[in-house]
Amino acid sequence: MTTFAENNIVFPDGQLNVAPLPEALMRNGFTPETRDAPGMPLPAQYLNWLFRDVYRNQQANQDATNNALKKDANLSDIVDRDEALKNLELKEAAKRDVGNGENQIPDMSFFQSGTSWFKLPNGITFQWGMTGALGPNQTQEVIFPIPFSNAVFGVQVSVNGTLAGTAEYFNLTKSGVTIANGLDKSATNPIFWLAIGR
């Protein structure tokens, strides 16, 4: 295949300095005849200008194609990736991996949960529940919905009723706790509990 280049254009009549056709003609088309001789072909130099214009447009399109990103490269042919991310106005989160480690972003699979408990990506676990109605000095052993893997940080207890009462806990382990209504004259109430651990 012969590559056409602008320096291959030949002017048969030797006129190398012929002015190009007016832009209106180049844009809108024209009848191949001269003004003074209707029906006569245009001089060869004008056709040469047309060839040159077509060639330049073809070269511009080829240059644009050569500089374009290739579909099958899947953006791997971007020269400056950092600059591309900057131009897209993507922040640091766009560069982070999914996970629960340092500088990672957890997705919902790292937020585990079940009936009356949930666990954060860092392993911190919240569990809660309610005892039955406990009278004065009555206790109830509570088994956590799931055992804590490492340790229990603490338990919060509170009376869940309309009458004054007290609530306390003891015998705390990774798998459960004992809840008590701790005063002789306390009203009978259920007791809400919240345990936090890991």
Query: Which residues does 146 contact at the CB level (< 8 Å), separation at least 6?
Result: 114, 117, 125, 127
Largest CA distance in the chain: 125
Residues 192 and 178: beta-carbon distance below 8 Å = no
pLDDT, residue 106, reads 77
Q: Alpha carbon of 96 to those of 55, 74, 85, 105: distances in Å?
A: 47, 20, 13, 7
- Cβ burial, residue 136 (10 Å; 0-12/13-18/19+): middle
Domains in the chain: boundaries: 6-68, 108-197
Q: Is the pLDDT of residue 8 over 80?
A: no
pTM over 0.75: no
pLDDT, residue 2, reads 41
Q: Is the pLDDT of residue 102 over 60?
A: yes
Q: What is the mean pLDDT of residues 122-126?
A: 93
* Range among 55-64, 94-103, 144-153, 157-166 with highest mean pLDDT value: 144-153
Quickly tell me which residue has 């701790």 as its tokens: 182
The architecture of the domain spanning 108-197 is Sandwich (2.60)
Length of the chain: 198
Q: What is the mean pLDDT of residues 44-66?
A: 65
The mean of the pLDDT values for the chain is 76
pLDDT, residue 49, reads 66
Q: Is the pLDDT of residue 138 over 50?
A: yes
